[in-house]
Structure 1
Amino acid sequence: MSTTLSSPPLPPRALVLCLCLLVGGGALWYVLSGPAPATHEATRAVVIRPQTRAFDIARTLKEAHVIRSRFAFLAVAVARGTQRRLLAGEYEFAPGLTLLEVVRRLEQGKGLVHQVTIPEGFAARQIAEMLQARGLIDQERFMGLVRDRRLLAQYRVDGTSLEGYLFPDTYRLVKGLSEEAMIGRMVQRFTEIFGPAERARASALKMSVAEVVTIASLIEREAMVDEERPLISSVFHNRLRLGMPLQSDPTVLYSLSRFSGKLTKANLQAPSPYNTYLHRGLPPGPIASPGRASIIAALYPASSRYLYFVSKNDGTHAFSNTLREHDAMVRRYQIRRVG
């Protein structure tokens, strides 16, 4: 006769525990692998600010209907040990992403990147306006930091602002990056361009970095073709050596808030330290962000005796040694054209 062995029945408590584990595990699998709620029918854009806590990130994602459960999001982040390493940025979440995919995207910082080109010759105010229009910064805070003494000391800038040191280039920026961090990137790019060789050349000219950048900013605002930058630089250097006023229109424009149109005689008499018609020597500081070509031109002016230049209205200039020659060029290219 054979006997059949059978397992003893589970105690009631053990049975309940097994059922709870099965249900809980199934629920966790559904939360991890299932898509977001049905209300999430379109791609959602979410901005995570720097130093945002995981709890607040979870709340933001829940309110945007990207995730079902804040608790589940936190549980996954804690289990993966990344709750303190979720990266700031602007993210787009398509419908149907699993919770695990959402967490991984934040871990890897796979947010939207904005490619922004700062044009040569832009003043700090224009840069701030551009970045605010793209939704990347607060313009008022940005401009406050441009004049922040702590940052000036940090970057060893001799002056009252970082005007001229926000290097014009193409940057890959993300929403959520602080204004201070963006400024840092631009100033760091400037230090890469204005390196040891450029500093040594400035010393050979017996000029400070600030003086070179100031001349370069004038060149940037005056020149329209690269070939003329060294010639325009020579005019400024020659005038400085002779103690002549620079008489540069862009310096007057810089002191006039949001000016548009042609300068008048009254404008040229405007009482501003930046008015190089009234004051000899360089203005108090740069008036714009010069590019590398203008910086090199400021450091290596052409060898010339030119003291004057006037626009020929085609992007180029007529250069003169004497006031008489200059007056003739003005009559030829400006007065006659107006008449």
Structure 2
Amino acid sequence: MKARCVPLLVLAALVLAGLAAWVAVRENLSARAESATERVFVVERGAPLTSIAQALEAAELIRNARAFGWLARWRGQAEGLRAGEYRLSAALPASEILDRLVAGRVVTYEVVVPEGFTMAQIGARLAALDLVEEEEFAAAVRDPELIGSLGFGSESLEGYLYPETYRLPRGLTAAAIARVLVTHFERAWNALEPAAIVRELDQHSAVILASIVEKETGIPEERPLIASVFANRLARGMRLESDPTVIYGIQDFDGNLRRNDLDDPGNPYNTYRHLGLPPGPISNPGRASLRAALAPAQSDYLYFVSKNDGSHAFSRTYREHVNAVNRYQRARRSGR
């Protein structure tokens, strides 16, 4: 009788030990607190599961690193935790925290890229949000390997970093961010491409022209007219004579465009001295400017001048243009 009881006692002991272990694991996987505020937790790129679990325990977000590691391995997710910045709370059970790390539910930041921003301005904005180093972004958008992999033959990605409101996580490389912006450009371009085919205008030329239109006016309804002026001048073999192109080619521009700047043949972007389009885009144009470049207004305008209120006066002849310049410059000097 006693001999029969021994296996039963051993089995009972094993069952009780198993139950105790399960209770302990379950307790260690439960939330540390009933309520707690969310905190930022960063999973470094390439960090192993053990290090992540220990960091979570040290941050008092989970009860036990070993139990967290066991759960991840039991689920087959030991290699699936994604790098990034997370908002986590001690009120979350370990299973929910693991779910978030596996799904990559990282914190994202709003990045507004306005129409007409240059790639340098975009880099500065990304750096201000601590998303990437300014120098790293500047190098990425000029990297021939990245540019080639995106299907472009240009010297940089200027013109192809689409202006939009983005939500980006920390931890992306500069190249990855550039790819996101270019992907949005490609979507916009694909919707407009039929117009390019009609005009027999190659993509790079269209983007260059759109980038100039973008910098010349902030009034949407003027963009097709501005584009028509440049299209008409190009068709007649006239120089574009666009101030923004000159400014783009001046290093460390101080805000004051001088006569010697307009006369400088050493500036390849000086459209007062060089015929045709400049070597590349001078900004990153939005959809309206791209559309204007591909479908300019039907006009015979060859000139325009600022009316000092953001809008422009358009002229067909040089005499009309001189009269408009005198009129609006006089009004500017008199403060009207």
Residue type at the aligned position of 1:54:
L
Indicate whether 1:249 and 2:243 are aligned.
yes
* 2:24 is aligned with 1:27: yes
Match of 2:271 in 1: 276
Instruction: Give the distance between the partners of 2:49 and 2:82, measured in 1 at CA.
Output: 10
Which consecutive unaligned segments of at least 5 residues does structure 1 have? none
Partner of 2:232: 238
Tell me, what secondary structure is at the counterpart of 2:157? coil
Q: Of 175, 195, 198, which residue of structure 2 is paired with 1:201?
A: 195
- Counterpart of 1:173? 168
Sort the Cα spacing of 1:296 and 1:141 in 2 relative to 1 into closer, same or farther, 3 A.
same
2:292 corresponds to 1:292: no
CA distance in structure 2 between the partners assigned to 1:172 and 1:286 by the alignment:
25
1:127 aligns with 2:122: yes
5 Å-filtered alignment, 1:85-234, equals 85-195=80-190, 198-234=192-228
- Provide the C-alpha distance between the structure 2 equivalents of 1:128 and 1:58, rounded to a whole number of angstroms: 34
Counterparts of 1:171 and 1:239, CA distance in 2: 37
Give the residue type in structure 2 aligned to 1:193. Answer: A
Q: Deviations over 1:143-199 (max 9, x none)?
A: 21111111221221121011111111122222223322222121111111112x744
Q: Is the 8 A contact 1:121 1:221 kept in 2?
A: yes
Q: Distance in 2 between matches of 1:117 and 1:158?
A: 27
Contact 2:249/2:269 (8 A) holds in 1: yes
Give the Cα separation in 2 of the matches to 1:57 and 1:289: 40
Structure 2 vs 1, CA of residues 134 and 33 (structure 1 numbering), >3 Å: closer, same or farther?
same
Tell me the C-alpha RMSD between the 2 structures: 2.9
Match of 1:180, SS state, is helix
| Mapped pair 1:303 → 2:272 | no
> Cα 1:228–1:67, aligned 2, differ >3 Å: closer, same or farther?
same
Correspondence for 2:327 among 323, 327, 332: 332
Return the offset for 1:57.
Answer: 2.8
TM-score (norm 1): 0.87
Q: Alignment partner of 2:5: what SS?
A: coil
Matched residue type, 1:28: V
The CA distance in 2 between the partners of 1:114 and 1:281, in whole Å, is 40
Judge conservation of contact 2:117–2:283 (CA < 8 Å) in 1: yes
Query: Structure 1's 17 and 145: CA in aligned 2 closer, same or farther, altered over 3 A?
Result: same
